[in-house]
Homo-oligomer: A and B are copies of this chain.
């Protein structure tokens, strides 16, 4: 026996169907759904019964067209494959969908072509707001996102020189804490594995690195720096460079600008016979899941990615809901230094 109430229906019910069954006008149906308190108790009951009976769900296109808002937000990610973002997106998703917003994910994937298409989409009024996790205001070939007047919020990577609400962790301070931890352990020669040049995260973390060194009366300019780009491979290269250094100058500790490079470093150094943390201590940044799975487990700065996403989403909702342009306020999210097995006291010389 099949269930007749759910089976086989073809076309979705529309508001007129509900109105007919409830014996009211379409206006009343609309009101019942949007402002239940303004319709009479009795009427409301009939309408809601009809909604259930027909399985009515408002057509978003019709609503968007008329109400001039799509209840959709565009979330721009530089690269979905980066293990940092999924968890941020979860926070974003939870918060936005709880407020009734849908999400369109724009995965830039290093394509200017795609980027431009998303700008077009946004400027054409297809979304109610834009959340930038990509470190820059996306640029179109012809249209300009800022000129559209659309609410914009940035997170993860700070965008300098834009007066929009932003959410970020204090990268400089967190880096300084990580390096101070190494100094506390007795390390005096500490190396830095860098992120991409001119990247704002690299700049802030490098600053924190220098600050912690200076606080211990060490000279940042003498600290060995290894070029990098946030990839595992860059960590491997840094390790090879490190291995080639003479004992006298080789750092006993490394601060990597992110976890993937730290893990690449550890793997290559160990493969060449170096012991971690006995011969070299290392601390990463981000707190990706794998930092707790690798061997040895990685001391790192944990970023509460879900919180970052949720906070940014909340700011965006505020901007989309409020009639006037939001004050460009900054939200700072706290990080945690996770002490694990990749750091230990400096070897005695």
Using a CB–CB cutoff of 8 Å, the interface residues on chain A facing chain B are 6-10, 12, 52, 55, 57-62, 64-65, 70, 80-81, 83, 86-87, 89-90, 93, 97, 102-105, 107, 109, 114, 117, 120-121, 123-126, 142-144, 147-149, 232, 263-264, 267, 270-271, 289-290, 293-295
Contact = CB atoms under 8 A, between A and B. Distances in A.
A9 B147 contact: yes
A102 B83 CA distance: 23
Contact of A59 (B9, B93, B125): B125
Copies of this chain present in the complex amount to 2
Contacts of A93: 107, 109
Given A80-B90, A89-B107, A147 B293 contact: no
B263 A293 contact: yes
A123 B93 CA distance: 21
A295 B276 CA distance: 13
A123 B89 contact: no
A326 B9 CA distance: 19
Contacts of A148: 9-10, 12
22 contacts: A6-B144, A7-B147, A8-B147, A10-B148, A12-B124, A12-B148, A57-B121, A57-B123, A57-B143, A60-B61, A61-B70, A61-B126, A65-B65, A81-B86, A81-B87, A81-B90, A102-B121, A105-B105, A264-B293, A267-B294, A270-B295, A290-B290
Contact of A124 (B60, B125, B126): B60
Contact of A123 (B55, B109, B126): B55
Q: Which 6 pairs of residues, A with B, have the shortest CB-CB distance?
A: A57-B124, A61-B64, A80-B86, A61-B65, A81-B86, A6-B144
A143 B55 contact: yes
Given A7-B147, A80-B89, A105-B105, A59 B264 contact: no
B293 A271 contact: no
A93 B60 CA distance: 22
A309 to B, nearest CB: 11
Nearest to A235: B293
Nearest to A236: B293
